[in-house]
């Protein structure tokens, strides 16, 4: 059985295991009617990835000053972006591994390869990145009220069929 806490330091694992987190009462669900080879996908990552030249990093300075706050903003990233055009701002993981091969968390190139192989139809025009840390306790109000509707609107325009969520 997969151990969710295997790679956490012991004390942090114990801390999380003892948080009283209620299970979600409802699970969002849409049946997937097409075979994936006919489907267009997007990637939504929480790894804090952004476009190096044209987007600002996530606001780590404010998080340093206010440790219980996390940046709720969104980065919209064209699916055609080359790995070298991407950067990462994240205070909770070491970005070294991700910068070695960004496909470990934001697999633009691998998804393009799957499209070339005919496994999927392709990627939507845009993929998305947020900062996974949303404060302590987490405040996902902006995500629910602004970010998610914005992503949905774009994906409907781009006729995406499914989203691959990749947590950092």
Partner 1 sequence: MPYWAERIGVPRTLAVEHPFGCPIGYPGDEKGQLTLLQAALSLFETCTTPGEINEFYDLWQEPIETAIQSWQPLEPSPIIRMLTPHIRDIIRQKGKLNLK
Among 7, 82, 84, 159, binds partner 1 (CB under 8 A): 7
Q: Tell whether residue 162 is a contact of partner 1 (CB under 8 A).
A: yes
Q: Tell whether residue 118 is a contact of partner 1 (CB under 8 A).
A: no
In the block, tokens 């629910």 appear at: 144
Question: CA-to-CA distance for 158 and 43, rounded, in angstroms?
Answer: 13
Question: CA-to-CA distance for 40 and 99, rounded, in angstroms?
Answer: 26
12 vs 152, beta carbon nearer partner 1: 12
Q: How far is the CB of 137 from partner 1 (least distance, A)?
A: 11
135, 69 Cβ separation under 8 angstroms: yes
Q: Tell whether residue 56 is a contact of partner 1 (CB under 8 A).
A: no
Contacts of 85 (CB under 8 A, 6+ apart): 51, 52, 53
| Residue of 142, 130, 146, 158 whose CA lies nearest to 42 | 158
Of the listed pieces 27-35, 74-82, 123-131, 144-152, which binds partner 1 according to CB under 8 A? 27-35
User: How many residues line the site for partner 1 (CB under 8 A)?
Assistant: 63
Q: Tell whether residue 67 is a contact of partner 1 (CB under 8 A).
A: yes
Contacts of 161 (CB under 8 A, 6+ apart): 32, 34, 39, 40, 41, 121
Q: How far is the CB of 83 from partner 1 (least distance, A)?
A: 11
Q: Tell whether residue 6 is a contact of partner 1 (CB under 8 A).
A: yes
Cβ neighbourhood burial of 57 (10 Å; 0-12, 13-18, 19+): middle
Interface positions with partner 1 (CB under 8 A): 1-9, 11-12, 14-16, 18, 21-30, 32, 35-36, 39, 41, 47, 63-64, 67-68, 90-95, 97-98, 100-101, 103-105, 107, 110-111, 113-114, 119-120, 133, 136, 162, 164-168
């Amino acid at each position: 059985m997969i151990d969710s806490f295997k790679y956490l330091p012991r004390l942090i694992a114990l801390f999380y295991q003892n948080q009283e987190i209620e299970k979600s009462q409802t699970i969002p669900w849409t049946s997937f009617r097409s075979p994936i080879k006919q489907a267009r996908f997007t990637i939504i990552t929480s790894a804090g990835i952004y476009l190096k030249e044209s987007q600002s990093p996530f606001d780590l300075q404010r998080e340093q000053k206010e440790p219980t706050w996390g940046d709720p903003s969104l980065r919209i990233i064209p699916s055609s972006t080359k790995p070298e055009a991407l950067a990462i701002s994240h205070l909770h993981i070491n970005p070294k591994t991700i910068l070695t091969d960004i496909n470990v968390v934001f697999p633009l190139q691998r998804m393009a390869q799957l499209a070339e192989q005919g496994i999927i139809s392709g990627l939507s025009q845009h993929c998305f990145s947020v900062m996974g840390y949303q404060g302590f306790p987490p405040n996902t109000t902006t995500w629910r009220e602004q970010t998610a509707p914005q992503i949905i609107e774009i994906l409907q325009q781009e006729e995406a069929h499914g989203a691959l969520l990749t947590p950092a």
